[in-house]
Structure 1
């Protein structure tokens, strides 16, 4: 097992080709301050360099919160005291996208409140599995702000325009069951089943072609953001041939045929 310990607010452990990232600020519901975001950025940069990693799981310490979002103390005061915010928001946008752009599938294991910036981060993960008691919301309007970090487009992609507007405009919360119903999370499960559900997804990923999964992620991500269907199809065709020409494809087809 590899352990990356030189972080201030998170931990990163790699075992059996699975990277586990955990937020470590339970006293403030794992709020995402600048230190956490910088740690996350470096962690994903390191994971991106390790092509042996098959999957990444992100969670929060404790049972109260995945992440309660931004540390609001960093937003207090008049705008002129926050001249750095434009650069800061660009940094946050780049960080939020790193799970989506990671070569390996990234799963948010939502163990409690998933709010504001925490929800934005989770939305940019490939999958979300939540405990039944989890709460989701984007209460930015309550503090006179709007969602940022590219989250508006991402939210519409996941839950549709009308539901995204309802969640943002009301600054309210939805529970895990509703989040599952609208497609915000893949599974809402009892707390005692959270670990096993995530482990089952990871095992499913690892039981298939490793390169095929990663190329499938590239194709799906590109299709979601392509300007038109034909552009998405062309990129898909390129990846299809790349995968078809791989040793992995040949070996797995041979194994399948031998098993029949």
Structure 2
């Protein structure tokens, strides 16, 4: 207990318990000037999330940050810039989110970065923290958004998929989950607001509080995704649907989506409380202990841990 309390005092959030240690390991090696380091960091973020204009009306946003497609403050900022481009372009009609990393759509939020890197981010245009702000803005874009899920869509990966208008998954390779409760956390990207409207209250609680992995076929039965398709057919199906939508009149798409949003989207005010609850949960000593256990097992470092997060969180036992 003494060690845990000391850890809590030494860091603003012990959820990112080895982030400081990793920074120290790399600090001595990197003697680049601040300007060069900043430019390198910006380029890395750009490389990790690729924006491709397939046609003027059809764009793709591809997560390409091996080995796990972890999303943290840098990636959130890059996504914000991409969303700004989508919002500003009157030609775009459909955007597909997919992954170039085998086995991972997006693993989860970066838990090895100091928490102040996340809490210190300036609010977005909605007035909310950039994470809930981003989820609201994606959901309310005046275009159709499609998540093409192959591999793990876990935590913020699931939340981004839920913010999209449609979700299509690989029957064999997609895994969705909100794993946070298993680690003592509260999910921060809005699934408590979206999942009950999508799958019903009981199934939402099963997903959120059960905190276990859900395969593509079960996700389809629950309504978590629109369809689970054979993996070999996923890309062609999503591309064909996107091109079909891109061929229609934009005004009809925009007006139709606007009316569906009125009937189905949660009020924006439901989103920020989830992020606030996430930050509060990170600071609890019991959560810090659970996260330290996961970090010690190899969270964000070992594929065998990331691939089996549901089992790893369940393996933790209170002392």
TM-score by length of 1: 0.77
- Specify which of 208, 212, 236 is matched with residue 252 of structure 2: 212
Aligned equivalent of 2:86: 47
**1: CA distance, partners of 2:119 / 2:79:** 20
Aligned twin of 1:134: 174
Alignment-derived partner of residue 6 in structure 2? none
State the distance in 1 between where 2:216 and 2:137 align: 24
2:156 maps to 117
- Secondary structure of the corresponding residue to residue 130 of structure 1: strand
Question: d(CA) in 2 for partners of 1:68 and 1:47?
Answer: 24
Partner of 1:103 in structure 2? 142
Who is 1:252 aligned against?
A: none
- 1:15-30 correspondence runs (5 A): 15-16=54-55, 17-27=57-67, 29-30=68-69
Compute the displacement of 1:63 (Å): 2.1
**CA offsets, 1:40-60, max 9 Å, x none?**
111010111111012000111
2:194·2:266 contact (CA, 8 Å) conserved in 1? no
**What secondary structure is seen at the aligned counterpart in 1 of 2:46?**
coil
Counterpart check, 1:197 vs 2:237? yes
Report the equivalent of 2:74. 35
Higher relative contact order (CA 8 A, sep 6+): 2
CA contact (8 A) 1:8 1:39 kept: no
User: CA offset at residue 217 of structure 1?
Assistant: 0.7
Unpaired stretches in structure 1, ≥5 consecutive residues: 228-260
Q: How far does residue 8 in structure 1 lie from its aligned partner after superposition?
A: 4.7
Between the two proteins, the alignment pairs up a number of residues equal to: 218
Change (3 A) 1:122 1:145: same
Report Cα offsets for 1:180-216 as digits up to 9, x if no partner.
1111111111221111110221133134332101111
Contact 2:146–2:167, Cα closer than 8 Å, also in 1: yes
Q: 1:146 Cα shift?
A: 0.8
Give 1:15 deviation, angstroms: 2.1
Which residue, out of 72, 82, 100, partners 1:61?
A: 100
Aligned to 2:119: 84
Alignment of 1:169-184 (within 5 A): 169-184=209-224
Q: Which residue of 1 aligns with 2:270?
A: none
| Alpha-carbon distance in structure 2 between the residues aligned to 1:83 and 1:163 | 30
Kept in 2, the 8 Å contact 1:9–1:35? The answer is: no
Q: Are the counterparts in 2 of residues 8 and 36 from structure 1 also a CA contact under 8 Å?
A: no
CA distance in 2, matches of 1:82, 1:209: 42
SS at match of 2:203: helix
Equivalent position to 2:195, from 155, 161, 165: 155
Post-superposition CA distance 1:148-180 (Å, at most 9, x none) = 222211111111111010111111011101111
Q: What is the TM-score normalised by the length of structure 2? A: 0.64
Conservation of the 8 A alpha-carbon contact between 1:22 and 1:59? yes
